[in-house]
Amino acid sequence: MTVELFDNLPDGSKVDKIELRSGNSQCSILTYGATIQYLNFGFSDVSIVVGADHIAPYLEELRYFGASIGPVSNRIAGGKFVLANKIYHLTKNEEGRHCLHSGSNGAHNRLWKILDKTRNAVRLWTRFADAEDGFPGERDVTASFVLEDGVLGITYWAITDQPTPISLTSHAYFNLSADETIIDHLLEVKAQHYLPVNAEKIPTGEVSVVFDTPYDFSELRQISARPYDHNFCLQKTSGELSLAARLVAPERNGGIELWTTEPGVQVYTYTHGKQAEKKDGFSHKIVPYCSIALEPQKWPDAINQRNFNSPVIVPGETYEHQIRFKAFTDRDD
């Protein structure tokens, strides 16, 4: 394990990079955004997450890439919610209409403090002030990254001094090969239902079956060039660490499994980017479908949807979300 200067933010603040190693596996975490900057389990010649070797892209086109997201991931409709008969107005950072990934001061856009570190693990911490981006409560959030050979384990904890919604996740963008896109990757999601969304990507409140729709990844199949930005409702007991998804490289020489304790996973295919060629310092060429994000989470906009499980925690309660990214080298494992 090493800690070294990664880069400086525009205000001069230093961003550190923590390099973790275990067997054939290597992972780099940034203190900015508690971000996964590099990940390789040994079955690929390149990092399997999209990243860059300097900070500027993480402030611009790679915003959210590899970052920890919270205190509430995904969208909150209208940038507001009601809790204990009080209306909370949030930062509307998506088209001036909705709150995305907790606004401008979310977990992705701040320096985290290193609490402790070992050869293959690091714990980071940050505090959100009461009313920051409109959310209630002073909230302490801790993120743990533990690398074992072939497994990256992430755990998020949060406590609060007021009732408040919490749904923390990791927003790594994956490309398991040296190909420009992930359209030939194979995906399986352990879900029989998904959440339809409106034109502004807000859940309608319906819970629909995936069968005979483009959202049916109940068996391993090719992703293809289709935009996805939907929550899949996992077949699981809430709080149980279980398999949520599998992503397989097109050469089928390896892949990853996503395990989570949360009830949903957002499948998001990146459809932006206009790089004519890979820029210096980037792990991949940033073009449409260069990567896919698999974001385990509580269901989006749950704070406004009465038929979704509540994301609210209260003082004295500790929120915990466990995530595992596990490598495998045989698609039938």
Query: Which residues in the chain show pLDDT less than 50?
Result: 331-333
The single residue of 171, 185, 230, 284 carrying the catalytic annotation is 171
What pLDDT is attached to residue 44? 84
Q: Give the number of other Cβ atoms within 10 Å of residue 66's Cβ.
A: 28
Q: Domain ranges in the chain?
A: 2-328
Pick the CATH number of 2-328 from 3.30.420.40, 2.70.98.10, 3.40.50.740, 3.40.47.10: 2.70.98.10
* Count of other CB atoms within 10 angstroms of residue 160: 26
In order of 71, 107, 125, 273, 286, the CA distances from 168 in angstroms are 6, 9, 13, 26, 26
Q: Show the tokens assigned to 164.
A: 């408040």
Sequence-separated (6 or more) residues with CB below 8 Å from residue 225? 181, 183, 288, 289
**Model pTM score:** 0.96
Task: Establish how many alpha carbons lie within 13 A of residue 214's alpha carbon, considering only the half-sphere containing its beta carbon.
Answer: 10
| DSSP state at residue 70 | -
- In terms of Cα–Cα distance, which of 197, 193, 195, 159 is closest to 70? 159
pLDDT of residue 332: 43
One-letter amino acid of 14: K
What confidence tens digit (pLDDT) does each residue in 125-160 have? 999 999 999 999 999 999 999 999 999 999 999 999
Strands 319-328 and 14-22: unpaired
State the pLDDT at residue 66: 98
What lies within 8 Å, CB to CB, of 196 at 6+ separation is: 203, 204, 206, 208, 230
pLDDT at 238: 75
- pLDDT at residue 312 in the model: 99
Residue 303's SS3 state is helix
Q: Please tell me which residue in 98, 284, 295, 321 is annotated as part of the active site.
A: 295
**Cα–Cα separations (whole angstroms), residue 172 to 149, 249, 266, 293:** 19, 16, 12, 6
Give catalytic status of residue 295 as yes or no. yes
**Tokens 């698999």 sit at which residue?**
294
pLDDT of residue 333: 46
From 113, 157, 154, 161, select the one nearest 135 (Cα to Cα): 161
Cα-Cα-Cα-Cα dihedral of 101, 106, 110, 116, to 10°? -90
Burial class of residue 155, CB neighbours in 10 A (0-12, 13-18, 19+): middle
Cβ pair 152, 190 in contact under 8 A: no
Neighbours of 57 (CB within 10 A): 18
Output DSSP code: residue 170. E
pLDDT tens profile 310-327: 999 999 999 999 999 999
| Cβ neighbours for 86, distance < 8 A, ≥ 6 positions apart | none
